[in-house]
Amino acid sequence: MGDKVLMKGNEAIAEAAIKAGCRHYFGYPITPQTEVAAYMSKRMPKIGGTFLQAESEIAAINMVIGVASAGYRVMTSSSSPGISLKQEGISYLAGCDLPALVVNVERGGPGLGGIQPSQSDYWQATKAGGHGDYHNLVLAPASVQEMASLTIKGFELADKYGMVAMILADGTMGQMMEPVEIDDIEIKTVEKPWALTGTGMKREHNIVNSLYLKPELLEQKNFERYEKYAKIERDEAMFEEYLMDDAEICLVAFGITSRVAKNAINEARAKGVKVGMIRPITLWPFPKKAFEARADQCKAFVSVEMSMGQMIEDVKLAIECKKPVYLCNRVGGMIPTPEDILSKIDEVGGAK
Amino acid sequence: MKRVTLFAGHYGSGKTNVAINYAMHLKETGFNVVIADLDIVNPYFRTKDSIEELNAKGIRLISSDYAGSNVDFPALPGEVYSLFDNTSEYAVLDIGGDDRGAFALGRYRDKILEENDYDMFLVINKYRPLTKTPELCVEVMKEIEEAAGIKFTGIVNNSNLGDETTLEDVLNSKDYADAVAGLTGLPIVFTAVTKSLAGAGDEFFKIKLQKKVFEED
C-alpha cells in the first residue's frame, strides 16, 4: 500500500492518470477543473511527459485525437462550457474508435452558467454530446479516492473497447480535499495494431479515419459499434447499493448527491423508514440490472440530482415504469441538503 | 514580532486557515489587526468566506470585491496599500498558492522590503503529494521566493490529512519539517493542529478550521 496523501479531486485525477501511464495531457484552464491542468503542468515535465496548454478546448481535443491515433494513453479535461466545445472532437474519436480519457468537472449551466457545482451535463455525457450514433463510457466518482480509481479504470476501459471514457464529476468532487492512496499499478495495456506508428516498411499503412464514402460501409461500421456497446452494457455496468436489502423507497444518486443521500438515509433509518440507495458508478452503461432486481421490491424511486431531472429518465426506463419515480433536485450550483431529501422521502410515503 | 506577517506556500497547504487563526490570535493578544486576502489564483476557499467571524472579532479584512462572488476574476483591491500607509496596525497577508499566487506580491515587494519589519512564513504539509519530500518542498519554496522577490524567514508546519488527521500523523511530520528547516536554514515557527485534534498539547498552535465551501451536512 502507498502512503496516504491529502489531495483535491482534480489533483487525484491527474496523478492517477500519470500512474495509468498517461504521458500526454492537452487542456485549457477553466474553473472548477483548473487544478487538473495545474498539476499536470508541474508533473509532466519531470517524468518526460507532455503538458500542453492549447489555444482553445477545440485545439486540445484535436491534439488528443492525434496522440490517440498513435496508440498512446492521452487525456484532456475541462468543465461544462469547455466540454461543449470539445464535442466535435469527441464525435470524431468515436467515429475513429479511438481510446481517450475526457474529464468533465461540471459547473452550473446552460451557457457560461456559474462556477458552482452541477450534474446537469448528464444527458450530454450519456446520450452522446456530439453528432452521430455513439456512446461514451461515463464514470461518476463520489470521493477523491474514486476520482483516482475511476480515472485508472477509465483508461483501461477506453483501451479495451476503443472508446472515449469520460469522468463525469461535479465541481464539488474536483474541489474537495480528502486523504487518498494512489498506488503504483501494473499498467494493463492492450495491443493496438491499428496505431499510426510508422510502417517500418514492414506492413501496409494504417488508416485512422471517420469518413466513409460508401453508405453500406458506414452502416456496417455503426452496426459493429453497437454490437460492442451491447457487450459493454452486459459486462461493464458498475453500481453500489446502500441499505437496499429491505428498502421500500430507493434513492438513486451519483457523485456528491449520493453522499448527501447517505446522510439522509441514515437519518430516515433512525426514524424507522425503510429507505436505501442505488448509486450508479457507470452512468453509461447505466446499471439497469440493479434496478430490475429492485423494481418489484420498492414502492417508489427518488432520483436525487443536481439537474432539472436527467438521470430520472434512465431510472424510469430501467424499472420499465413499474413504480413511480420522483425527482429531488437543486440546480444552478446548489446542492440538495439532507433535509431536502428527507422531506421528499416523507412526501412519497416514507413517513413512519 | 514583526508588524507584517505573510503566509505563503504550496497550493492547498492550509495557508488561509493558518492566516485567519494567526490574525485572531494576534487580536486576542491585544494587537490592532488587519488581514488581507491576496489570492489571485483560487476563486474558492477564501479569507472572505470568514468575513462574519473576522468582523465580529474586530479584525479588518481587505479583500477583492470579487472574492467569494463566483466572479472568477484575479483582482487585488487598491485598499491593500493601506497596509503600508497605516503602520499602527499589525498586518497578516494570505498569499495565493505556489509561485502563481506569489506573483501578486510583486507590486507590494518594494514597500515590504523598505519598511523591513516583516516575516514571511512558508506553510508546509508533508501529506501534499507535490511537496511530499523536503527537497520538493524547497523547490516550491524557491519558486515562490523568485516570484515574490521576498525571502522566507520561517516555517509553519501544517502537516495534515484533513478530517482524518491523527496526532500520530502530525508527530510523524516532525522529521520532514526538521529536514526542510535544515535544508533552508529557516526556523520552525510553530506546528499547527486543529482544535478538535485529541491529545494535542500546548506545544501546538491550535486552529479553528474555517467553514468549507461545500459542506455535505
With cut-offs at 50, 70 and 90, classify the pLDDT of residue A187.
Answer: confident
**B216 closest CB neighbour out of A38, A42, A260:** A260
**Burial of A348 from C-beta contacts in 10 A (0-12 / 13-18 / 19+):** middle
pLDDT for B215 beyond 60:
no
With cut-offs at 50, 70 and 90, classify the pLDDT of residue B7.
Answer: very high
Give bridge partners of residue B34 from the DSSP assignment: B60, B91
Same domain? For A69 and A190 the reply is yes
Same domain? For A16 and A150 the reply is yes
Same domain? For A231 and A312 the reply is no
Please tell me the predicted confidence (pLDDT) of residue B213.
53
Same domain? For A258 and A316 the reply is yes
Per-residue model confidence as pLDDT tens digits over A226-260: 999 999 999 999 999 999 999 999 999 999 999 99
pLDDT for B217 beyond 50:
no
Interface of A with B (CB under 8 A): 3-8, 11, 15, 31-32, 35, 38-39, 42-43, 114-117, 172, 175-179, 256, 259-260, 263, 333, 335, 338
pTM over 0.90: yes
Same domain? For A194 and A287 the reply is no
Please check whether residue B132 touches A, CB under 8 A.
yes
pLDDT for B67 beyond 60:
yes
Mean pLDDT of chain A: 96
Same domain? For A193 and A269 the reply is no
Does A177 sit within 8 Å of B216, measured CB to CB?
no
**Using an 8 Å Cβ cutoff, are A313 and A321 in contact?**
no
Instruction: Tell which of A179, A212, A235 closes a domain.
Output: A235
Per-residue model confidence as pLDDT tens digits over A61-90: 999 999 999 999 999 999 999 999 999 999
**CATH classification of the domain holding A344:** 3.40.50.920
With cut-offs at 50, 70 and 90, classify the pLDDT of residue A1.
Answer: very low
Question: A181 CB contacts (<8 Å, ≥6 apart)?
Answer: A1, A2, A3, A4, A5, A145
Same domain? For A43 and A93 the reply is yes
Cβ contacts from A onto B, under 8 A? 64
With cut-offs at 50, 70 and 90, classify the pLDDT of residue B74.
Answer: confident
The reply to whether A210 falls in a domain is no
Nearest-angstrom CA–CA distance, B129 and B55: 35
Please check whether residue B70 touches A, CB under 8 A.
yes
**B162 closest CB neighbour out of A3, A15, A178:** A178
Tell me which residue range forms the domain holding A188: 5-198+222-235
Neighbour tally for B182: CB within 10 Å? 10
Does A333 sit within 8 Å of B216, measured CB to CB?
no
Per-residue model confidence as pLDDT tens digits over A10-25: 999 999 999 999 999 9
The reply to whether A203 falls in a domain is no
With cut-offs at 50, 70 and 90, classify the pLDDT of residue B209.
Answer: confident
**CATH classification of the domain holding A16:** 3.40.50.970
Nearest-angstrom CA–CA distance, A180 and A146: 9
| Domain range B4-207, its CATH number among 3.90.1490.10, 3.10.350.10, 3.40.50.300, 3.80.30.20 | 3.40.50.300
The reply to whether A113 falls in a domain is yes
Nearest-angstrom CA–CA distance, A226 and A243: 35
What mean pLDDT is predicted for residues A177-204? Answer: 92
Same domain? For A45 and A90 the reply is yes
With cut-offs at 50, 70 and 90, classify the pLDDT of residue A177.
Answer: very high
Same domain? For A247 and A166 the reply is no
Same domain? For A182 and A323 the reply is no
Sorted by where each begins, the domain ranges of chain B are 4-207
Does B70 sit within 8 Å of A333, measured CB to CB?
yes
3-state secondary structure (DSSP) of residue A273? coil
With cut-offs at 50, 70 and 90, classify the pLDDT of residue A344.
Answer: very high
Does B160 sit within 8 Å of A6, measured CB to CB?
yes
The reply to whether A276 falls in a domain is yes
Please tell me the predicted confidence (pLDDT) of residue B73.
84
The reply to whether A110 falls in a domain is yes
**A6 closest CB neighbour out of B70, B128, B217:** B128
The reply to whether A205 falls in a domain is no
Minimum CA–CA partner of A264 in chain B: B217
Q: Which residues of A189-222 are buried (b: 16+ CB within 10 A; e: fewer)?
A: eeebeeeeeeeeeeeeebebebeeeeeeeeeeee
Residue with cell 501494473: A186
Please tell me the predicted confidence (pLDDT) of residue A138.
98
The count of domains in chain A is 2
Lowest mean pLDDT across A212-226, B1-15, B33-47: B33-47
Lowest mean pLDDT across A96-105, B46-55, B208-217: B208-217
Please tell me the predicted confidence (pLDDT) of residue A2.
62
User: Whose CA is closest to A132, among A211, A193, A208, A78?
Assistant: A211
Per-residue model confidence as pLDDT tens digits over A262-316: 999 999 999 999 999 999 999 999 999 999 989 999 999 999 999 999 999 999 9
Q: Where is B155: in which H helix or E strand?
A: strand B154-157
Does A7 sit within 8 Å of B129, measured CB to CB?
yes
What mean pLDDT is predicted for residues A80-109? Answer: 98
Q: A42 contacts in B (CB within 8 Å)?
A: 130
The reply to whether A217 falls in a domain is no
3-state secondary structure (DSSP) of residue B65? coil
Which of B69, B144, B214 to mutate: most A Cβ within 10 Å? B214
Q: Which residues of A111-121 are buried (b: 16+ CB within 10 A; e: fewer)?
A: eebbbbbbbbb
**Using an 8 Å Cβ cutoff, are A7 and A83 in contact?**
no
Nearest-angstrom CA–CA distance, A205 and A195: 10
What's the grid cell of residue A134?
A: 455513439
Which residue intervals of B30-173 are DSSP H helices?
Answer: 51-56, 82-85, 98-102, 109-115, 134-148, 167-171
The reply to whether A60 falls in a domain is yes
CA angle at residue A308 from A302 to A310, to 5 degrees? Answer: 70
Q: Where is A149: in which H helix or E strand?
A: helix A144-161
Same domain? For A84 and A177 the reply is yes
With cut-offs at 50, 70 and 90, classify the pLDDT of residue A3.
Answer: confident
Query: Is the link from the previous residue into B43 a cis peptide, with omega within 30 of 0?
Result: no
Q: What are phi and psi of A318, to 5 degrees?
A: -65, -35
Does A175 sit within 8 Å of B72, measured CB to CB?
no
